[in-house]
Amino acid sequence: MAPPVAGQYFDNISPVTGQPFTAIPRSQEADIELALDAAHAAKAGWGATPAADRAAVLLRIADRMEQNLARLAVAETIDNGKPLRETTATDIPLAIDHFRYFAGFLRAQEGSIAYIGGDLVAYHFHEPLGVVGQIIPWNFPILMAAWKLAPALAVGNCVVLKPTEQTPASILVWAELVQDLLPPGVLNIFNGFGLEAGKPLASSKRIAKIAFTGETTTGRLIMQYASANLIPVTLELGGKSPNIFFADVMDRDDGYFDKALEGFAMFALNQGEVCTCPSRALVEESVYERFIERAVKRVEKIRQGPPLDAQTMIGAQASTGQMEKMALLKFEWMKRAAGVRKPTSQNGIFPPLAPPQGGEVLAAGRARGPGGARLCLARALKRARRFLRIQGSLRRASPALDPEKSTHSKFKRGEKILSYIDIGRQEGAECLTGGERNTLTGELASGYYVKPTVFRGHNKMRIFQEEIFGPVLSVTTFKNEEEALEISNDTLYGLGAGVWTRDDTRVYRFGRAIQAGRVWTNCYHAYPAHAAFGGYKQSGIGRETHKMMLDHYQQTKNLLVSYSEKPLGFF
């Protein structure tokens, strides 16, 4: 465990209660250099480790995660605010599956031999890149880490990984569980803020690749930094995904139609904090009135409440560390309305904190570079036990560290989402349901909860064109297939899309015509390890998941070998 060089820590606020529960090291450039030192010291040994042995390590990581599924699920919920039923049934199991998937495909990967002619043969070998950087988002911390870590580690790379400052804790709980399974220096985790920690990593000349998941504006900066060093990037960025419902979904009131209604409500999954969130719904005009009546009723049945309650369907917005950005967005919008053109910078939302004085240091950073944390899960879980009665899951959660008091201020969260709800109304959109903060009681009163919101408007509105990253759906209509396609593709983004129809020929034709990297057909929000994921247009570069990811973390070595003793004949 290496403490931050500058000795600074910052508070991590759980969106469940709006209260601090963690003190996290605030790493800076000097800390990143230490992490890179550890990675470079380990890269030769890990890269030379036989593929079968590396695959076995990934399988052991998956097994350890499975044995501690409840603990990881609770940690993810407390850190992120999403419901426990989601982390237990989806996030952690999918992360486990990704490690097993890449362990299996690594064993099956082969090089190639090409006979050129005569005694000349070409050999092609897969070799690791060396040391790679990865920056993980806040909406699926452990799952997104698995998406990037599993293929990178499988092929023999060492990783320097930065979780987002909004949700830094759950990945450290995961690292604490698996740290003994990896050689020292193979995985190095540090925490910190974008300019202080993310930029030094992305612009470092000591990494051979950078992978980033986050918003498009930040992705552009990451690509800039990488281009200066001529290293490859994988960017999974923003989206404004259309979800298209053709009239034939209402041909019968059957199981398929019920599934389509659930598909409509999928914009609220994970509180709408999904890059592929189906945040635009397109409904065929001829059935709109009948369809939307049933669809809105389905949305209103979504149960929002305490995230640690197993019955809760959507929880709190996870925007703990986004307060500066959210405040800036609203401030800039208000200034724009007042005729002020240049936005004013606001800083100092997270002042440096003194390091905690007591408690056990989380072991996640031990022998893995800087950035361990002092997790106060004890206090969070004690409170959770008091206002929730899911003792079984909580008893299996991460054990206590120091429950020290924090003097860090509390911040309102979700201002970005509420500002877009205001913008929608000002643009003339009709609010069909929701449209406000959902204030819970007791210790959850300070948490930030937004009711699932459905607007009706048109595709030129900002709520149709800009990524909100919250439970806000914008609905419009279309007359025919051609108009549906035109509206669907009228966006800067191209990450995901959904198509709902009983017509199999339309399924194929329309799916191929949509400009999106993934098109769900008669389903939505499925993320299997063996299906490639990535975007068109400004939604990113490269792909994640699928066996092709092994290639993305490798470079090809060609040996062109002559077995002839004859002279070359040039000189």
275: domain CATH number is: 3.40.309.10
- pLDDT confidence of residue 319: 61
d(CA 90, CA 522) in angstroms, rounded, equals 19
The 112-117 sheet, strands edge to edge: 112-117, 120-128, 554-562
Whether 139 and 95 share a structural domain:
yes
* Tens digits of residue pLDDT in 251-275: 999 999 999 999 999 999 999 999 9
Q: Is residue 392 included in any domain, yes or no?
A: no
Whether 123 and 48 share a structural domain:
yes
Name the DSSP letter for residue 544: B
Whether 217 and 152 share a structural domain:
yes
Residue 341, φ and ψ in degrees, nearest 5: -90, -40
Q: Is residue 93 included in any domain, yes or no?
A: yes
Give catalytic residues, as residue numbers: 236
d(CA 473, CA 430) in angstroms, rounded, equals 11
- Amino acid in the structure at residue 327: A
Whether 142 and 164 share a structural domain:
yes
Whether 190 and 128 share a structural domain:
yes
State the residue range of the domain holding 115: 9-238+534-559
Q: Is residue 344 included in any domain, yes or no?
A: no
Whether 117 and 60 share a structural domain:
yes
d(CA 341, CA 248) in angstroms, rounded, equals 48
Name the DSSP letter for residue 195: I
Whether 452 and 547 share a structural domain:
no
- pLDDT confidence of residue 36: 98
Give how many domains the chain has, as a whole number.
2
- pLDDT confidence of residue 518: 98
Q: Is residue 200 included in any domain, yes or no?
A: yes
Tokens of 22: 């963690």
Tell me which residues of the chain have a pLDDT lower than 70: 1, 319-414
User: Can you tell me which residue has the tokens 């959109």?
Assistant: 429
Whether 45 and 145 share a structural domain:
yes
Q: Is residue 307 included in any domain, yes or no?
A: yes
Tokens of 97: 């599956």
CATH number for 33: 3.40.605.10
Under DSSP, is residue 454 helix (H, G, I), strand (E, B) or coil? strand
d(CA 212, CA 235) in angstroms, rounded, equals 5
- pLDDT confidence of residue 396: 34
Whether 125 and 254 share a structural domain:
no
Q: Is residue 331 included in any domain, yes or no?
A: no
Radius of gyration of the chain (CA): 25
Whether 145 and 273 share a structural domain:
no
Whether 173 and 317 share a structural domain:
no
- pLDDT confidence of residue 414: 58
d(CA 344, CA 352) in angstroms, rounded, equals 22
Tokens of 402: 């120091």
Q: Is residue 489 included in any domain, yes or no?
A: yes
d(CA 298, CA 339) in angstroms, rounded, equals 41
Whether 90 and 192 share a structural domain:
yes
- pLDDT confidence of residue 148: 99
